[in-house]
Amino acid sequence: MKRLFLSMMAMAAIATTLTLTSCGSDDEGNDTPDGASILATDGKTLMGNLTGKQTLEEGEYILGGTVIIENGGELTIPAGTTIKAAKGFSSYILVAQGGKLYANGTSSQPVTFTSGEATKKAGDWGGIILNGKAPISGAGAEGTNTANAEINNAYKYGGSDKADNSGALTYVNILYAGARNTADIEHNGLTLNGVGNGTKIQNVYVLESADDAIEFFGGTVNVTNLLAVNPDDDMFDFTQGYKGTLSNCYGIWENGYTSTEEDPRGVEADGNLDGNGGDHVGQSDFIIDGMTIVNNTVGGNTTTGQKNAMDDVIKVRRGATATIKNTLVASTSADALKAKDLVDATDSKGGGTVTINITVSFFSYDRDKVVDYVDKTNPDKNVAGQGTITLTEPSAANAGANTSVFAWTNYSFPTLN
């Protein structure tokens, strides 16, 4: 992704458009105890750099541009709050190292980040980015590697603090995010850069993200109860030394959905960034426990590799180690094309490691129509250099994610059989 350079002069220019109050509250009662605010004089528009602690009142706000929660800054968003983003690549919230974002939704009153457009669509705005101090892969010793955020090069991530805390996201909707600058420069719904396991992320719904629903760039953060609906690229993406656990996740491409990407996947896992650090220290070694992937894509051609169809349901490559268990793959549409690969642990820049352990149950996938997922004649074999990959056909739909925990989203889940 292209870096978005923001100079100090540019930041100062943005800041002058805002009202920065000293101790106390602004006219709308928004708490600014440390003397800094990202709330404009209209009492509704959020934009700028937060260096102190600010708690918004419950209500509806406009994300008017870029919000940076700086080192030492804390933004608390209460349950029931909706933030509607202005259209564009520069409408996003980034938590810098040492900053904290608390989006404290509840099952009855989630916090919602969405597009401010009348007709909403994927890629209307940027997304949510957390930069932490937890380890990432790199050429140096473990705990010494850092990198710059792809969306905003001025802010780094990585380090040695596995327990680093970037705040909490609980009962949060992230809708219509993923704006792109060019084909290779684009946001995800939720981007986690070197985020530590002191950060709490659970009960998150990502709808119609124009790139990945979620991407982990290293770090140790654990994520629980994640629903991804119609991401344009990957549902769940891991890279640059991620070492945590994703528990109870459900990804779906709905009937009739068509991706615009060349090689979208359910799971994409790299050990190092872009496969260019095969000898790097601290490569990805993570767990997925309780996952459902529903692929109802219509379009493209899995034989020729034409875009729009799911390339791989699960792809683990480039030095990554993964333990993926209690996983269900299904298609509910008779017209949906099947993925090119059900499970693939190979890549031109290096395959997955010998300690991969993947167990997948699947409905509606004819082994003869899934091309080269491991070895159609012996699908449960140990493949040299790829670890253990086991495929089973379930007798009942009791594998995969527990969808009851997503009742708060009001999403209507299909019956899998």
Gap between the terminal Cα atoms of the chain:
40
- Bridge-based pairing state of the strands 92-95 and 357-362: unpaired
CA 138 to CA 50: how far, in whole Å? 30
With b for 16 or more beta-carbon neighbours within 10 A and e for fewer, the 358-369 pattern comes to bbbbbbbbeeee
pLDDT the model gives residue 415:
86
pLDDT the model gives residue 125:
98
Element (H, E) at 131: strand 128-131
pLDDT the model gives residue 245:
99
Give residue 377's pLDDT band: very low, low, confident or very high (50, 70, 90). Answer: very low
Element (H, E) at 299: none
Tokens found for residue 193? 């850069």
Place of tokens 């693939």: 344
Which amino acid makes up residue 86? A
Is residue 218's pLDDT more than 70? yes
Distances (CA, A) of 134 to 142, 219, 241, 272: 10, 5, 10, 15
- Bridge-based pairing state of the strands 236-239 and 265-270: parallel
Mean pLDDT of the chain: 85
pLDDT the model gives residue 417:
65
pLDDT the model gives residue 41:
92
Show Cβ contacts of residue 6 under 8 Å, excluding neighbours closer than 6 positions: 66, 152, 154
C-alpha 28: how far from its chain's center? 33
In this prediction, residues 8-36 reach a mean pLDDT of: 42
Is residue 31's pLDDT more than 60? no
- Segment 90-120, tens digit of pLDDT: 999 999 999 999 999 999 999 999 999 999 9
pLDDT the model gives residue 299:
63
Helix (H/G/I), strand (E/B), else coil: 238: strand
Domain ranges in the chain are 8-408
Q: Nearest-5° angle of CA 387, CA 396, CA 343?
A: 25
Q: How many residues does the chain have?
A: 417
- Segment 236-292, tens digit of pLDDT: 999 999 999 999 999 999 988 888 888 899 999 999 999 999 999 999 999 999 999
pLDDT the model gives residue 365:
60
Higher pLDDT pick, 229 / 377: 229
Give residue 10's pLDDT band: very low, low, confident or very high (50, 70, 90). Answer: very low
pLDDT the model gives residue 342:
81
Is residue 16's pLDDT more than 60? no
What is the Cα gyration radius of the chain?
Answer: 21
- Segment 313-367, tens digit of pLDDT: 899 999 999 999 999 988 887 666 677 778 888 888 988 887 888 888 877 664 4
Which amino acid makes up residue 153? N
Give residue 84's pLDDT band: very low, low, confident or very high (50, 70, 90). Answer: very high
pLDDT the model gives residue 217:
98
Answer for the pair 104, 55: CB distance below 8 angstroms, yes or no. no
Q: How many CA atoms lie within 13 A of 158 on its CB side?
A: 23
Give residue 73's pLDDT band: very low, low, confident or very high (50, 70, 90). Answer: very high
CA 166 to CA 73: how far, in whole Å? 10
Place of tokens 């070694």: 285
pLDDT the model gives residue 356:
83
- Segment 296-316, tens digit of pLDDT: 887 655 455 455 678 888 999
CA 318 to CA 345: how far, in whole Å? 9
Answer for the pair 339, 308: CB distance below 8 angstroms, yes or no. no
C-alpha 123: how far from its chain's center? 14
Is residue 131's pLDDT more than 50? yes
Kindly state the percentage of the chain with pLDDT values over 90: 65
Kindly state the percentage of the chain with pLDDT values over 70: 80
pLDDT the model gives residue 300:
56
Give residue 68's pLDDT band: very low, low, confident or very high (50, 70, 90). Answer: very high
CA 268 to CA 214: how far, in whole Å? 11
DSSP state of 413: P
CA 90 to CA 166: how far, in whole Å? 21
